[in-house]
Amino acid sequence: MKLVIGLDGQSSGEKALNFAKGMASKVDDCELIVVYVIEWSPFSFQTAEENAERHKRREEEISTAMERVLNPAVASLKEAGLNARAIVRHGDVADTIDNIAHSEGAGQIIVARSSAGGITSRLFGSSTANLVMNARVPVTVVS
């Protein structure tokens, strides 16, 4: 069985990780796929120089997400004796998590409901709702 855990870089992600740890510990041969999506719109018209800068920024964002969010999460899962790996993507949060879950053959998506305000609330509040309504696999929202 494969479980996709969507993290938003906030402390609420610990709740999703802990829930997934509990589930995975009860299942034989479970792989945890920890996902972080950087909100990114492909729809913009830019010069060649702006596109080069945008590519550089994307690479920096991926590196930062791995270092600050995903590597510590995967390390904590592996320390618990679980099979885990990480994926970072740019795109729409709900669509990207759903696409990863579908392409990986995951049986479930686990995300945390964020109570924080600002951009986290905007991205993961509406993204969580979109995920619940449109995902091709069951979604568990941990609060």
Q: How many other C-beta atoms can be found within 10 angstroms of the C-beta atom of residue 76?
A: 16
- CATH code 3.40.50.620 for 2-142: yes
pTM: 0.85
pLDDT at 124 (0 to 100): 47
Question: pLDDT tens, 48-106?
Answer: 787 778 778 888 999 999 999 999 999 999 999 999 999 999 889 999 999 999 999 99
Identify the DSSP state of 62. Answer: H
Identify the DSSP state of 105. Answer: T
Q: How many other C-beta atoms can be found within 10 angstroms of the C-beta atom of residue 21?
A: 17
pLDDT at 13 (0 to 100): 86
Identify the DSSP state of 9. Answer: S
- Is the per-residue pLDDT at 44 higher than 80? no
Question: Looking at this protein, which amino acid is placed at residue 31?
Answer: E
pLDDT at 123 (0 to 100): 46
d(CA 87, CA 43): 23
Question: pLDDT tens, 1-36?
Answer: 999 999 987 877 889 999 999 999 998 899 999 999
